[in-house]
Amino acid sequence: MAVLFISLIASRILIDLLLTFDWPIVVFVAIGATVGYGPPLVVALVVGRRAGCSRLWFAGRWRMSDLGWGPVVWLSCVVGQVVVALVVVATGIPFTGNIEDLDSGELPRDYLISVLVIGVLVAPIVEELLFRGVVLRSLVGTMGHSAAVVLQGILFGAAHVDPMRGVGNVGLVLVLSTVGMVLGGATLMLRRVWPAMIAHGILNAVALALALTSFG
């Protein structure tokens, strides 16, 4: 978890520093993906090998039905988000979205596209392998299904903390923790992580699309 948190912060800082360079979009995507998700993926692979497996054993076997389950899991995440968001707003808990700075229309086009690619393609794969694969599977073996789903969900929300958002992180963590719990529950129910990956990708794609609608 520490590796993921540090990597994501380092990736954002590095990309911000490199925006002054007129580099191709693919460079920004490669840097963001490598710095942000490379180290956590290595950790996941090391955990798998230490468990005596040479592949991503925690992902489960892909099935064509996962293409249908993915949207179902996504809808469940949306429902969970809405319910918790309503509670956050009603109770006055500080909330700052993790993509609110994308709709200002002031960010470079290359940066926005790199964020879109990483958020929709890279993040769902690596984060699901880490949280619903390594973390959830490990916790289930020590504390049971229900507690494991709750704890890995909270860790998922906490991993999206950004010091720049200040107290606004509180509401964001609550909302994203709920999403993590839904994804964790779906992974245990279906016994594989692929539907959660698809749901995660759709979730990020919709959120980014809504944030970028005002970008000219």
Provide the CB-side half-sphere exposure for 165 (13 A, CA).
Answer: 19
* Residue 151 predicted with pLDDT over 50: yes
If one compares 45 and 74, the residue with the highest pLDDT of the two is 74
Torsion sign over Cα 126, 131, 136, 142? positive
pLDDT higher than threshold 80 for residue 83 = yes
Is residue 43 very low, low, confident or very high in pLDDT (cuts 50, 70, 90)? confident
Q: Report whether pLDDT(88) > 50.
A: yes
In degrees to the nearest 10, what's the CA dihedral of 76, 157, 191, 72? 20
Distances (CA, A) of 200 to 17, 79, 182: 28, 14, 11
Task: Quote the tokens at residue 166.
Answer: 């200040």
Q: Label residue 215 by pLDDT band (50, 70, 90).
A: very low
Distance (Å, rounded) from C-alpha 74 to C-alpha 72? 5
Rg value, the chain, Cα: 17
Q: Return the closest-CA partner of residue 208 out of 90, 88, 124.
A: 124
Distance CA 4, CA 140 (A): 21
pLDDT at 129: 86
pLDDT at 98: 66
> Which pLDDT value is given to residue 121?
86
Structural domain span for residue 75: 2-212
Mean pLDDT (whole number) for 195-212: 89
pLDDT in tens, 50-65: 766 545 556 778 889 9
Average predicted confidence (pLDDT) for the chain: 84
Q: Is the pLDDT assigned to residue 19 strictly greater than 90?
A: no
> Which carries the bigger pLDDT value, residue 4 or residue 104?
4
pLDDT, mean of residues 40-57:
69
Question: Is the model more confident about 201 or about 40?
Answer: 201
Contact between 149 and 188 (Cβ < 8 Å): yes
Q: Which residue has the higher pLDDT, 50 or 185?
A: 185
Band of residue 142 on the pLDDT scale cut at 50, 70, 90: confident
Between CA 102 and CA 155 the distance in angstroms is: 25
Q: What is the pTM assigned to this prediction?
A: 0.84
For the chain, what is the domain count?
1
Our CA angle for 58, 3, 54, nearest 5°, is 30
Long-range contacts of residues 20-23, Cβ cutoff 8 Å, at least 24 apart: 23/110
Q: What is the pLDDT of residue 58?
A: 61
Q: Tokens 């007129």 sit at which residue?
A: 22
